[in-house]
Chain A
Amino acid sequence: MSSPSRARRLTLPWLVAWSCFAVYLGAARQVGSFFPLSVFDMYQGQAPDVVARVLAVDASGQVHELHRFEGFVCEPAAWRLDRRELARQCGDDHRPLPYVLRDQQQWIDDHRDRSGAAESITIISRAHVLEDRPGAPAARDCVLVRCTATRRGAAP
Chain B
Amino acid sequence: MTPLWRSYWDGYARTPLRLGLVGIAGLELFVESYQVAWQAGDPARYPPSGALSRGLADLPGAPWFVFAMIVVGLVAVARDRSPIAGGLWALAWAALLSEWQTQIFGSPSRNAFFPGAAVLGWVLGQLWAGFVDHDRPRELRERLGEAGMLGCLAAAYVGSCLSKLLSAGAQWSSATQVRALVLWQEPLADWGWLLAYRQAILDDPSLARIAAIATLVIEGGAFLLLLGPRLRLVWAALIFALHLNIILLCTMPYLEPMALLLLLVVPWPRIAGATRLAHPHATDARERPTLPWTMAIALACVMLFAWAVAPWGWRGH
Contacts and interface: CB of A to CB of B under 8 A. Distances in A.
Interface in A1-26: 5, 8-26
Interface string A59-89: 0000111000000000000000000000000
Nearest to A6: B4
B134 interface: no
A40 B97 CA distance: 18
Contact of B160 (A5, A26, A40, A135): A40
Interface string B99-125: 100000011101011001101110011
Contacts of B315: 32-33, 41
A89 B167 CA distance: 31
A53 B183 contact: yes
Interface residues of A, number: 65
B223 A21 contact: yes
A47 to B, nearest CB: 3
Contacts of B312: 34
Contact of B309 (A16, A34, A99, A130): A34
Given A16-B128, A19-B291, A35-B95, A51 B180 contact: yes
Interface stretch (B55-63, B76-84, B140-148): B140-148
Interface of B: 1-5, 7, 45, 91, 94-95, 97-99, 106-108, 110, 112-113, 116-117, 119-121, 124-125, 128, 132, 143-144, 146-148, 150-152, 154-160, 162-164, 166-169, 171-172, 174-177, 179-181, 183-188, 199, 202-206, 223, 226, 283, 286-291, 299, 302-303, 305-307, 309-310, 312-317
Contacts of A25: 155, 158-159, 162
A28 B4 CA distance: 26
A16 B163 contact: no
Contacts of A27: 302-303, 305-306
A21 to B, nearest CB: 4
A8 to B, nearest CB: 6
A83 to B, nearest CB: 12
A36 B120 contact: yes
Contacts of A53: 183-184, 187
Contact of B226 (A18, A37, A64): A18
Given A9-B1, A99-B107, 9 more contacts: A12-B286, A13-B144, A24-B155, A36-B94, A38-B113, A40-B160, A41-B316, A44-B164, A63-B188
A39 B163 contact: yes
Contacts of A31: 306-307, 309-310, 313
19 contacts: A9-B4, A14-B147, A15-B289, A16-B125, A20-B148, A23-B302, A24-B117, A30-B310, A31-B310, A32-B315, A34-B309, A34-B310, A35-B91, A40-B160, A42-B110, A44-B168, A47-B176, A99-B107, A134-B205
Contacts of A14: 3-5, 147, 226, 289
Nearest to A46: B168
Contacts of A19: 124, 151, 291, 299
Contact of A99 (B106, B110, B299): B106
B151 A33 contact: no
B94 A35 contact: yes
Nearest to B312: A34
Contacts of B199: 136
Contacts of A137: 179, 183, 202
Contacts of A8: 1
